[in-house]
Structure 1
């Protein structure tokens, strides 16, 4: 960077034929930012993002269809031309002031979305084609002080991040991919105003105590412009939450720390949860006044590095009340969100990177690094279940893989070349229905990556995935009870053997 102005821009194009029928995708993205330093302490930066995407949707299959012919599309997806097309624009500006003792950031943004979602339609489920345009306005104000308190190191953070979204939606019958009669027309105005305060006080050189709180106000104003009289679904609700936090961090050394946190979280339902089409001959876009979900969470962990090791490890348990869970019908259509009175989320998140070898072919020199061989691993345990639910007892919450493991062995040369195998594993089956009667299977996917990268100039990569051509479900649409759902078309097959490549040039 020369002078007070710096700029960055990137343009990317993605054209994908798709492993399955009716799964082509075309995406174009432009990102740019321009910064201006008014002084050594003050900087202003402007951001621009443009995105245009056209994505065909192949729909879900039954489990037997996925295992026999995973590349097939759901016949209705082709007949009704299921797809999503959207364009969005995001403009943002941020002013930053930084000194040795304080940091102050103030920013604003505008996000515009124009979306057309062609989906399933029948006389008993009238969602069909949905057209959405929305304007999203927001800002953030964040202040950080590092001034000492009572002669000890202290970090105080205060901020607020208001956001307003005005979304207009209209649904039509899907007549073989073309819009028919209107089935719903509405407007949703969403407000979220979180304000937060946190203080990190060092009671000793290596031990700090964190205490803080978040106050969040939300409003959901739904305006139904289609249904009249008693059927009109217009509704207004304004949930709010207060979320305290208490924790501690022990810095074992400059590179390693251990931590513990106890905090409350709060999430107001979105319009995607509040408004869904009902099923039946009188199918309408119905508003369900859901409660906000909240949870108490305790987390303990460590992160750091030692010699050739880098790691992160955290264990957590959350006690949820009124958790927001989505349900789908046997065709994979979203038929509504429900509040679960009590549920528990607990698990482990772990990662470990080990530098196995250094200076294999090229030793480190003063003007360049040596080569290296590293093993990067991650493991996640997701133990999410109902807590004495009147319908599901202590069953697992459906749709969430339980044991997930990923690993990559990578050789990196001193001149930008890299190559190595990798594996992605879902180590156990997991339920696709909350009754826990039907399951998606375990799988292991073998891959290989190679390429050449450089900070400036030419870069190229090749990414080979699922080399053994495994048949597996990359995602599923959760249903309540598979025993009452014949031919549930809720499995979305993952890609078979695939090869991806790309080139880039930077300067």
Structure 2
């Protein structure tokens, strides 16, 4: 098997040594953009998004969903493929472990994308409890904007990993009618019907989607259904509004984590304890209702407001207990942008406010599901414990871009953040309560220099702030109900206190367009304090503990290259796209672990695709993914193996754009590997059940038809 430590020199050379960047346009306020853009042209929508992100003095990504949709798109793993700096791997079913610059490296893997601030159409999705994944159906998306690290500042993102904004279709960029159907290995089926309409100043988009799968691993069957709708109306050239509705429900069987030996010899086997208990995660229906309204005061200034209601109940049947959770968040945003001339210099200023708050709810109820241990003798359904978790995040941010010389821009910003986290055990009555309230700040300083129209250099220095999840205060507690407490005996009784995670990050890089293609390159170094890290207390545990760590370092390199290798006179072309992420995350002189690497993520992560397009619309591509070994415990006593997987895609895109079909082949060599790791503390060199197996060899076929 090829070792990721010996990646082909030619590929790494292309990925890491390139100089040049596409011309970054000046900031366009919304009114100017709408007046100049034909919104039915999706190419211009994508180019506009890229131009906006090119004005950020740091690493960013724009994912044009037309490319991933020429193959299977089942989850965020497929959406975020080939993106430098972004690690996205399946943690089983729809759950995907997403990490940017080591964000949430070991926090709630697969479920909450901790350490990232996630938006839907510019509106907050992330709340104090994290980011549930069931509303992120990839078929609903037009494109995705990723602002890595502090580069999400103007979106109100202060997390270490930055911001991800999932942008839906609207009536302007969606076909009048589209039908998509995909099927393949392991019982995979995905269906969608959607429609976009423009009726004068009114436009609408609606889509209905459902999917099901038996799963590659035993006991990983999944089923989901959902719908999205948005309606936009332009009252006049200065005022427009859009309403959003998303609803989706999911039901996933859980296979648990397994050993490396199990992955090597029987990768489809599930953890026997999970199968015996019939563990599953049901999210019986999540609702997201929002509005975004924009008022263009004049050609140089605008105000945008947003309001969101988000309800996401969960029915968690993991382990011998059953946990029913009721989350409800409400969020509000306000953003003011203005262009001025200061001292003869062009200036763009922003002021933003975002607030997200848990609404009062019934909290969580935990009951006996399978009588065992301290609950032996109690009937299923017997109440064990009730607890609440409340929280809020309030961020006020002010920023400015000032052109201090020709093509040289100075970016400054300062954000103030107030976080509240509370958790209380309300039953039994002897339970405790913890309440945390913190003020903090996050400054930002950056430079970007447009050396030539095809070369941009940038750098920034910033601070990030992240609060713990309210539910981690109770689940991480080592204070438990004593013997004689009935079915609550042994469960956590009093929430603990956790500190906010902070980091100071330096980033330097560039992007451009040169003879070898479009490229981007960024290096970053972050000193992290009180990093929120999770650990499995034992191999059979279902919920990791989350605690503050001693000082740590996150540093790395993020590189991408899209190379047009050859073009024919008839329009045929051969291209190569590559993405490489180097990640070095480790302790700084920890008393127990010294300078050990943080477990859970690989040091080297490379993806590449070589593709040939015929002028008639046919295409064929081969791809690879190379990943280095991953530590599975904080003592670095045991590692998941490095791996290399290969795939291929063939398909046809009709010249008129009205239909397409494709065949997507995954893991052609049927490589056995660990896709994600949920670390332990010190496994003392033993092969513990810490890993989730990656998907084996599979074949998927799909077709879509559109009425344009």
Provide TM-score, normalisation by structure 1: 0.92
Matched, 1:242 2:441: yes
Once residues 382 and 612 of structure 2 are traced to their aligned partners in structure 1, the CA distance between those partners, rounded to angstroms, is: 59
| Superposed displacement of residue 419, structure 1 | 2.1
- 8 Å contact from structure 1 (residues 398, 430) kept in 2: yes
Task: Classify the secondary structure of the residue corresponding to 2:468.
Answer: coil
Matched, 1:389 2:389: no
Matched, 1:379 2:580: yes
- 8 Å contact from structure 1 (residues 61, 73) kept in 2: yes
**Are residues 450 and 139 of structure 1, via their aligned partners in 2, closer, same or farther at CA, if it must alter by over 3 Å?**
farther
| Aligned match for 1:349, one of 555, 558, 575 | 558
1:383-429 deviation digits (Å, cap 9, x = unpaired):
00000111111000011111000001122344543320111110x21
Q: Rg: which structure is higher? A: 1
Q: Which runs of 5+ in 2 are unaligned?
A: 1-197, 373-378, 484-488
Once residues 589 and 425 of structure 2 are traced to their aligned partners in structure 1, the CA distance between those partners, rounded to angstroms, is: 37
What's 1:210 paired with? 411
| Aligned match for 1:173, one of 359, 365, 368 | 368
1:365-388 deviation digits (Å, cap 9, x = unpaired):
xxxxx2322100000011000001
Q: How do 1:135-154 residues align onto structure 2 when only pairs under 5 Å count?
A: 135-154=328-347
Once residues 225 and 456 of structure 2 are traced to their aligned partners in structure 1, the CA distance between those partners, rounded to angstroms, is: 41
What's 1:283 paired with? 490
Once residues 414 and 34 of structure 1 are traced to their aligned partners in structure 2, the CA distance between those partners, rounded to angstroms, is: 37
What's 2:229 paired with? 32
Task: Classify the secondary structure of the residue corresponding to 1:450.
Answer: strand
What's 2:691 paired with? 491
- 8 Å contact from structure 2 (residues 524, 557) kept in 1: yes
Greater per-residue strand proportion: 1
What's 1:311 paired with? 519
Q: How do 1:409-428 residues align onto structure 2 when only pairs under 5 Å count?
A: 409-426=610-627, 428=628
What's 1:88 paired with? 286
| Superposed displacement of residue 49, structure 1 | 0.8
Once residues 239 and 516 of structure 2 are traced to their aligned partners in structure 1, the CA distance between those partners, rounded to angstroms, is: 38
| Superposed displacement of residue 221, structure 1 | 2.0
Of 71-80 and 167-176, the range deviating more from structure 2: 167-176
Once residues 254 and 136 of structure 1 are traced to their aligned partners in structure 2, the CA distance between those partners, rounded to angstroms, is: 44
| Superposed displacement of residue 349, structure 1 | 0.7
- 8 Å contact from structure 1 (residues 397, 434) kept in 2: yes
- 8 Å contact from structure 1 (residues 277, 283) kept in 2: no
- 8 Å contact from structure 2 (residues 477, 496) kept in 1: no
| Superposed displacement of residue 61, structure 1 | 1.2
What's 1:439 paired with? 639
| Aligned match for 2:502, one of 269, 294, 300 | 294
What's 2:185 paired with? none
Greater per-residue helix proportion: 2
| Superposed displacement of residue 228, structure 1 | 2.4
What's 1:125 paired with? none
| Superposed displacement of residue 487, structure 1 | 5.6
**Are residues 452 and 7 of structure 1, via their aligned partners in 2, closer, same or farther at CA, if it must alter by over 3 Å?**
farther
Once residues 222 and 408 of structure 2 are traced to their aligned partners in structure 1, the CA distance between those partners, rounded to angstroms, is: 51
1:78-122 deviation digits (Å, cap 9, x = unpaired):
11111111121101100012453123210101111121111123x
| Superposed displacement of residue 450, structure 1 | 2.5
- 8 Å contact from structure 1 (residues 331, 490) kept in 2: no
1:23-74 deviation digits (Å, cap 9, x = unpaired):
1111222122111011123211111111111111111112212211110111
| Aligned match for 2:274, one of 70, 77, 84 | 77
Once residues 617 and 648 of structure 2 are traced to their aligned partners in structure 1, the CA distance between those partners, rounded to angstroms, is: 17
- 8 Å contact from structure 1 (residues 79, 176) kept in 2: no
Matched, 1:182 2:379: no
What's 2:396 paired with? 195
What's 2:41 paired with? none
Once residues 406 and 428 of structure 2 are traced to their aligned partners in structure 1, the CA distance between those partners, rounded to angstroms, is: 64
- 8 Å contact from structure 1 (residues 273, 326) kept in 2: no
Once residues 50 and 489 of structure 1 are traced to their aligned partners in structure 2, the CA distance between those partners, rounded to angstroms, is: 35
**Are residues 250 and 478 of structure 1, via their aligned partners in 2, closer, same or farther at CA, if it must alter by over 3 Å?**
same
Task: Classify the secondary structure of the residue corresponding to 1:175.
Answer: coil
- 8 Å contact from structure 1 (residues 278, 335) kept in 2: no
Q: How do 1:320-339 residues align onto structure 2 when only pairs under 5 Å count?
A: 320-328=528-536, 329-339=538-548
| Aligned match for 2:455, one of 237, 256, 278 | 256
**Are residues 412 and 460 of structure 1, via their aligned partners in 2, closer, same or farther at CA, if it must alter by over 3 Å?**
same
1:112-171 deviation digits (Å, cap 9, x = unpaired):
1121111123xxxxxx22111111100110111112222211110110010011352111
What's 1:67 paired with? 264
- 8 Å contact from structure 1 (residues 36, 45) kept in 2: yes
**Are residues 96 and 451 of structure 1, via their aligned partners in 2, closer, same or farther at CA, if it must alter by over 3 Å?**
farther
Once residues 159 and 268 of structure 1 are traced to their aligned partners in structure 2, the CA distance between those partners, rounded to angstroms, is: 20
Of 409-418 and 128-137, the range deviating more from structure 2: 409-418
What's 1:461 paired with? 662
Matched, 1:274 2:466: no
| Superposed displacement of residue 333, structure 1 | 2.6
What's 1:107 paired with? 306
- 8 Å contact from structure 1 (residues 298, 316) kept in 2: yes
What's 1:366 paired with? none
| Superposed displacement of residue 273, structure 1 | 2.5
Task: Classify the secondary structure of the residue corresponding to 1:275.
Answer: helix
What's 2:40 paired with? none
Of 415-424 and 388-397, the range deviating more from structure 2: 415-424
Once residues 46 and 418 of structure 1 are traced to their aligned partners in structure 2, the CA distance between those partners, rounded to angstroms, is: 38
- 8 Å contact from structure 1 (residues 157, 199) kept in 2: yes
RCO greater where, 1 or 2, for CA within 8 Å and sep 6 or more? 2
Task: Classify the secondary structure of the residue corresponding to 2:475.
Answer: strand
Matched, 1:131 2:324: yes
- 8 Å contact from structure 2 (residues 476, 547) kept in 1: no
1:424-451 deviation digits (Å, cap 9, x = unpaired):
110x212110001000110011011223
Of 246-255 and 110-119, the range deviating more from structure 2: 246-255
